[in-house]
Structure formats: C-alpha cells, structure tokens
C-alpha cells in the first residue's frame, strides 16, 4: 500500500484526492489529513479514511475535532499548528504528499515534504511561484519527485518526453526538440463580458466558473486570469522554459488542458473532462494508470473547439504576472502575496473586481528589484508585500 498525506484535505483538491482513493482503496493508505479550520468536513474524512493523524492549523478547531473523534471511538491523533503541518508532511511512512493548501501558507509544509524526499503531488502553485529556483534546487538536492497536479502542467508533463519528465526544472527543451509550451486557459466567466461592466462584478459572479468547480481564491484568479499568470510562472520553473517557449492560448471549452509543440511540427495535446480527478490519479499512479472515476470524453457531444489570443486590457493581471516572471523572484513573490490580499479584500467586499489588478500593479510598481537568496528572505518579502497591499487597499477604499 502506498502511504500518503493530504495537505489541505478539506478543500476542492483535497476532496478530489480522497475521491480517487475511494476508487482505488487497495492501493492507497491515508496517513495524515490537514486543514485550516473546517471541523465538520475533517471529522467525516477521519471517520471514513481513519488516518493516523489529523492536523488543524487552528487550535480551537483541533480541540473540537479531538473531542468529537474521541466520543466516536476514532483513534486518529489530532495535532495543531504550523509545525504539525510540516511534521506530518515529512512522516517516514509517507510515500507521497498531496500539496493542496491554498496560497503561500502551503510553502513550508510543501518544502518539508520536499526535504524529506517524498513524491510531491503539487497543486499548491503559489508555493512554487513564491519560491521558484530555490524550490526546484531543494527538489533536486533531496531527490524528491515532483508531479504537477495543476491540470495544465499535468497535461504538459504528459505530452513531454520522458527525459523532461525525469528532470523537471533542469530539462533542456531545445535538446528534446520542443519549440513551445501552449498553456491553455478558459478565459474565465467574463471572457465575453463588456469590459466596462467588470468593475461591478460580485464575488458570486466571479466564483461561478463556466467549466471547473474550485476553491474561491483560484476561482477569482481564473476570472482575472491571474491564475494563468501564476501558471505561466509555474510552467517556467517546472519546465525550465524561457519567454519564447511559453504561449498562453484561450480555449473556452477546457477540453484540451494544454499542449506541447515540437520542432518537427507535431503538437501533442492532453484532453479530458474538466475534472481534477484525472490529473490527480495520473500523478498518484505515474508511470502507471489507474481509474479516476472521471467519465470518458465524448467527442460527439463536445462540439467545436475554439482558440483565442489573450487580450491584456480584459486581463491586466495576466500581463502583470508575465512581466513579473521576467523581473525576477522578488517580483513574483510580491505579486503572489499582494494578489492573495487583494483577492481576499474583493471576496470580503472591501474592493471591486477591477481593483484587484490596480492593487497588484501599484505594489509591483513601487518595487526595487533584486533576487532573494533564501527561503527566509522570500518569506520576509511576502510579509512586506502584504503590508504594502493592505495600505494600497486602504487608499483605494477611502
Ligand atoms: P480550497 O480553498 O478549496 O482548499 C484549501 C485547503 O487548504 C483547505 O483544506 C483549507 O483548510 C486549507 N487551508 C487554507 N488556508 C490554510 C492555511 N493558512 N494553513 C493551512 N491550511 C490552509 O482550495 P483548492 O481549490 O482546493 O486549491 C488548493 C490549491 O490547489 C491552490 O493552490 C490552487 O491554486 C491549486 N489548484 C486548485 C485547482 C482546483 O480545481 N481547485 C486546480 C489547480 C490547482
Ligand atoms: Mg490550472
């Protein structure tokens, strides 16, 4: 049995991971589950999957969970706090760790799994955006195995030659005959809206993604296309790609999950239903294949596939992220942190939808660019960016 820990078990990716395990109960054993504060969901998961450990970030939530588990005679041990997240990520018995905490909060637990040399199923793109080269260096140094869960990066991975798959972060695309990574994105719920109407968009409208069902933060990021921008940066690090080797393509139907173009003219695409259980099952079983529970793609039902060039006036966040990618690690860490604060302010009604890009641009413009040399330095930059973002939001809302 393959032992696994799920960081962020109560979220959208966490639940999809458990759904894949439900399809393959003889293959996987859940060792630890973690969450921020959702006791009800965690309790149900513990009763069903009987992990050795359940970690709640929040202390109050942890004692509540422990009491309820005890009264139901479930022997799962409850831990709490950030250190406990890192502890269960590095358990000796873990063969793989699903990194599915949302945002920069996932960085240290994900790194703990990397440092322990595990197979990392990487959904938490913000961790990689924030730490870039330093993260990839740690993967190489520890011998950890990285498998992308983000549907686009998983698709690209599947369309890459084995030499690239086995050398993520340090591969040579040109030597492998690859000319371009075609990173597809649906364009989100507002791809056909009048640009002038975007300022009045509500959180509920922004979170209603046409093709995918996801957590709130990534749903808003998909509506601004910041998600594609973060994915652009993620692709650069995973596939050691430069500016001329990544192209964003809007593909509203989300049937093709991304493509790789080769120098001989071939284009390899990975397709499927828009359901995260497919990339999760792929990464859990790689290089084998297992059932994911996802229905097969029906070519006679899907209709036409269309493709568009991204328009940066509609999606200024996409442009900000691509620019930040080439400005360096301080810029991408700053953008990631600022965006988390801005998205939260939008979701809690403090700023409008189009203010997200405005706040991100304002904080980035004030940057004096330089490279950060350690994870600790990046964590400091992240903290400073959050303060700058809050101050900018206070000015916007005055
Ligand atoms: P979500 O909001 O549904 O779930 C987030 C999980 O992280 C929850 O279990 C929550 O309890 C936990 N969490 C939140 N804040 C935390 C903190 N400070 N410390 C510890 N745990 C915390 O998010 P999601 O949609 O599942 O996304 C998770 C990650 O996967 C994100 O990085 C996202 O970009 C990425 N991703 C998601 C999808 C998707 O379809 N949902 C697709 C691709 C990539
Ligand atoms: Mg994605």
| pLDDT one-digit tens code per residue, 137-150 | 999 999 999 999 99
Element (H, E) at 29: strand 28-35
- Mean pLDDT calculated for residue range 226-241: 98
Judge residue 88's burial from the number of C-beta atoms within 10 Å of its C-beta, 0-12 exposed, 13-18 middle, 19 or more buried: buried
Fold of 2-148: Rossmann fold (3.40.50)
Ligand 2 center to 184 CA (angstroms): 9
Give the pLDDT confidence of 280-323 residue by residue, as tens digits. Answer: 999 999 999 999 999 999 999 999 999 999 999 999 999 999 99
Q: Which atom of ligand 1 is nearest to the CA of 36?
A: 11
pLDDT score at 211: 87
Q: Give the separation between CA 16 and CA 21, rounded to whole angstroms.
A: 9
Confidence of residue 118 (pLDDT cuts 50, 70, 90): very high
Q: Give the separation between CA 283 and CA 121, rounded to whole angstroms.
A: 7
pLDDT score at 216: 95
Options 3.40.50.1000, 3.30.43.10, 3.40.50.1980, 1.10.1740.10; CATH for 328-397 is 1.10.1740.10
Show me where the domains of the chain are located.
Answer: 2-148, 150-327, 328-397
Q: Give the separation between CA 113 and CA 20, rounded to whole angstroms.
A: 21
ipTM comes to: 0.99
Contact 371, 331 (CB under 8 A): no
**The dihedral of CA 65, 67, 70, 75: what is its sign?**
positive
pLDDT score at 134: 97
Nearest alpha-carbon partner for 251 in 154, 186, 180: 186
Ligand 1 center to 12 CA (angstroms): 7
Which ligand places an atom closest to the C-alpha of 40? 1
Give the pLDDT confidence of 62-114 residue by residue, as tens digits. Answer: 999 999 999 999 999 999 999 999 999 999 999 999 999 999 999 999 999 99
């Amino acid at each position: 049995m393959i032992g696994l820990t799920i960081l962020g078990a109560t979220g959208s990716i966490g639940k999809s991971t458990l759904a894949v395990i439900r399809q393959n109960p003889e293959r996987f054993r859940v060792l630890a589950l973690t969450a921020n504060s959702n006791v009800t969901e965690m309790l149900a998961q513990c009763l069903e999957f009987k992990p050795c450990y359940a970690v709640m970030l929040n202390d109050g939530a942890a004692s509540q969970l422990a009491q309820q588990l005890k009264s139901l005679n479930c022997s799962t041990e409850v831990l709490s706090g950030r250190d406990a997240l890192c502890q269960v990520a590095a358990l000796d018995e873990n063969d793989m760790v699903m990194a599915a905490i949302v945002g920069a909060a996932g960085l240290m637990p994900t790194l703990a799994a990397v440092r322990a040399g595990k197979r990392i199923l990487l959904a938490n793109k913000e961790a990689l955006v924030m730490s870039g080269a330093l993260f990839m260096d740690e993967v190489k140094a520890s011998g950890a195995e990285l498998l992308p869960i983000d549907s686009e990066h998983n698709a690209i991975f599947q369309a890459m030659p084995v030499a690239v798959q086995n050398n993520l972060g340090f591969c040579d695309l040109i030597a492998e005959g690859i000319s371009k990574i075609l990173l597809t994105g649906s364009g989100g719920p507002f791809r056909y809206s009048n640009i002038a109407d975007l300022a009045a968009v509500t959180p509920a409208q922004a979170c209603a993604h046409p093709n995918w069902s996801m957590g709130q933060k990534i749903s808003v990021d998909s509506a601004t296309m910041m998600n594609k921008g973060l994915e652009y940066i993620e692709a650069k690090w995973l596939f050691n790609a430069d500016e001329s080797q990544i192209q964003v393509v809007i593909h509203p139907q989300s049937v093709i999950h991304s493509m790789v173009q080769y120098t001989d003219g071939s284009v390899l695409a990975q397709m499927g239903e828009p359901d995260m259980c497919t990339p999760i099952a792929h990464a859990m079983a790689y290089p084998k294949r297992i059932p994911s529970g996802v229905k097969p793609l029906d070519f006679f039902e899907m209709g036409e596939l269309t493709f568009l060039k991204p328009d940066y006036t509609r999606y200024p966040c996409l442009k900000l992220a691509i620019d930040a990618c080439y400005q360096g690690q301080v810029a991408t860490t700053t953008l990631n942190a600022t965006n988390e604060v801005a998205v939260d302010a939008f979701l809690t009604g403090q700023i409008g939808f189009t203010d997200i890009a405005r706040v991100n641009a304002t904080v980035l413009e004030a940057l004096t660019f330089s490279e950060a040399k350690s994870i600790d330095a990046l964590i400091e930059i992240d903290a400073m960016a959050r303060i700058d973002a809050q101050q900018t939001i206070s000015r916007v809302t005055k």
